[in-house]
Amino acid sequence: MTDFQEYLHAKRAVDDRALNRRVLDCLRDELPDRSLEAVEIGAGVGTGITRLLDRGVLPETVSYTAIDYQPENIAAAREHLLERDFTEDRDRLRRGGSTVSLVIGDGLELVDNEQYDLLIAQAVLDLVDLDSALPPLFESISPGGLAYFPITFDGGTIFDPAHLLDERIFDLYHRDMDREGSSRTGRRLFSAIPAAGGEILAAGSSDWVVYPPYSSDERRFLSHILDIIENALADGAVGEELGEWLETRRKQLESEELTYIAHQLDVLCRVSYSVT
Ligand SMILES: C[S@@+](CC[C@H](N)C(=O)[O-])C[C@H]1O[C@@H](n2cnc3c(N)ncnc32)[C@H](O)[C@@H]1O
């Protein structure tokens, strides 16, 4: 397992707690009670699939296409599904009435010309250019279909206890996200979704809140978050003080003193008509 996959597995427990229940309930209520075609962009190691099935959000019969452009993630997703009682069925995985097709590739291109009942992108839209990503995604949803965008970062990184360098480090960390995506994608969805032809049905916060004492997943997760910040700031913009900040944070993690909060939003919308 790569570091990134270990991070995604550890993140699952933090996401489980963070996901906005009201938005999830609305998704469950709005989905038609019939067999469904669903697609997930940036499916990672596949934990989103089993979460939605095991929580009874998706109906018993769903045909689910999970796309990620990292082949190692797709291989890890296959492993995860096989561990969760899926079995190989030709080119798909099956459990009861649910089938999953695992696809390596760029989800923004692969969904083209499809007509899904439900499109999911969890912790993904903040990594891409929102204005150019939403139109092709919405065009792949059948009229009246749904799009669910949980765990969308929205510009808030908090560590406690406070450190003098926090403001500078978080500012540069967020600016690094802004190079390809946007650190404020969560709030931007409220204008971008209607502009692309969607109607927002439910929205709410899904902040990660991790505080001591940590479970083993939470400890691993926090360690990865510090690594992610270190990598994002590897261009040296912070200077030598970054090393001191990281050392302090890693010691606080070790001694179970560190609290971490990331502000995120879950948004569910309906795509009522096709946009040209
Ligand atoms: C932060 S991870 C989230 C993974 C998973 N959704 C989760 O929440 O655990 C983002 C994932 O999206 C994938 N990704 C980002 N943009 C993509 C695209 N255009 N097409 C396919 N996968 C993409 C990355 O490879 C990565 O696995």
Q: What is the pLDDT of residues 169-182, one digit of tens each?
A: 999 999 999 999 99
Atom of ligand 1 nearest to the CA of 11: 9
- Specify the pairing of strand 141-160 against strand 92-95: unpaired
Beta partners for 159? 260
Q: Is the pLDDT of residue 274 over 60?
A: no
Q: Is the pLDDT of residue 276 over 90?
A: no
* Residue of the CA atom closest to atom 13 of ligand 1: 42
Domains of the chain, residue spans: 3-154+181-207+264-271
The helix/strand/coil state of 184 is coil
Q: Is the pLDDT of residue 240 over 90?
A: no
Task: Tell me how far the alpha carbon of residue 106 lies from the centroid of ligand 1, in angstroms.
Answer: 10
* Residue of the CA atom closest to atom 4 of ligand 1: 44
Q: Are 217 and 12 in contact (CB under 8 A)?
A: yes
Q: What percent of the chain has pLDDT over 90?
A: 90
- The pLDDT of residue 273 is 60
* Residue of the CA atom closest to atom 1 of ligand 1: 123
Task: Tell me how far the alpha carbon of residue 108 lies from the centroid of ligand 1, in angstroms.
Answer: 11
14: which residues sit within 8 A by CB, 6+ positions away?
A: 208, 210, 217, 218, 221
* Residue of the CA atom closest to atom 11 of ligand 1: 42
Q: Which of 4, 45, 103, 127 to mutate to test the pocket of ligand 1 (most atoms within 8 A of CB)?
A: 127
Distance CA 213, CA 190 (A): 36
- The pLDDT of residue 62 is 96
Geometric angle at alpha carbon 51, from 47 and 54, rounded to 5°: 135
- For the entire predicted model, the pTM comes to 0.96
Residue with tokens 């808030």: 156
* Averaged pLDDT, 90-105: 95
Give residue ranges with CB within 6 A of ligand 1.
Answer: 8, 11, 41-44, 47-48, 67-70, 73, 106-108, 122-124, 127-128, 151
Distance CA 14, CA 211 (A): 11
* Averaged pLDDT, 80-88: 96
Task: Tell me how far the alpha carbon of residue 164 lies from the centroid of ligand 1, in angstroms.
Answer: 33
**pLDDT higher for 212 or 273?**
212
- The pLDDT of residue 90 is 87
At the fourth CATH level, which superfamily is domain 3-154+181-207+264-271? Vaccinia Virus protein VP39 (3.40.50.150)
- The pLDDT of residue 35 is 93
The first and second tokens of residue 141, run together, are 């949803």
Q: Is the pLDDT of residue 168 over 90?
A: yes
Q: Is the pLDDT of residue 18 over 80?
A: yes
Task: Tell me how far the alpha carbon of residue 73 lies from the centroid of ligand 1, in angstroms.
Answer: 9
Q: Is the pLDDT of residue 79 over 80?
A: yes
Geometric angle at alpha carbon 114, from 112 and 115, rounded to 5°: 135
Q: Is the pLDDT of residue 110 over 90?
A: no
Residue-wise pLDDT tens digits, 46-73: 999 999 999 999 998 999 999 999 999 9
Task: Tell me how far the alpha carbon of residue 143 lies from the centroid of ligand 1, in angstroms.
Answer: 25
- The pLDDT of residue 275 is 47
Residue 239 pLDDT level (bands cut at 50, 70, 90): confident
Task: Tell me how far the alpha carbon of residue 45 lies from the centroid of ligand 1, in angstroms.
Answer: 9
Residue with tokens 């946009």: 275
Q: Is the pLDDT of residue 112 over 80?
A: no
What are the backbone angles phi and psi of residue 2, rounded to the nearest 5°?
A: -75, 165
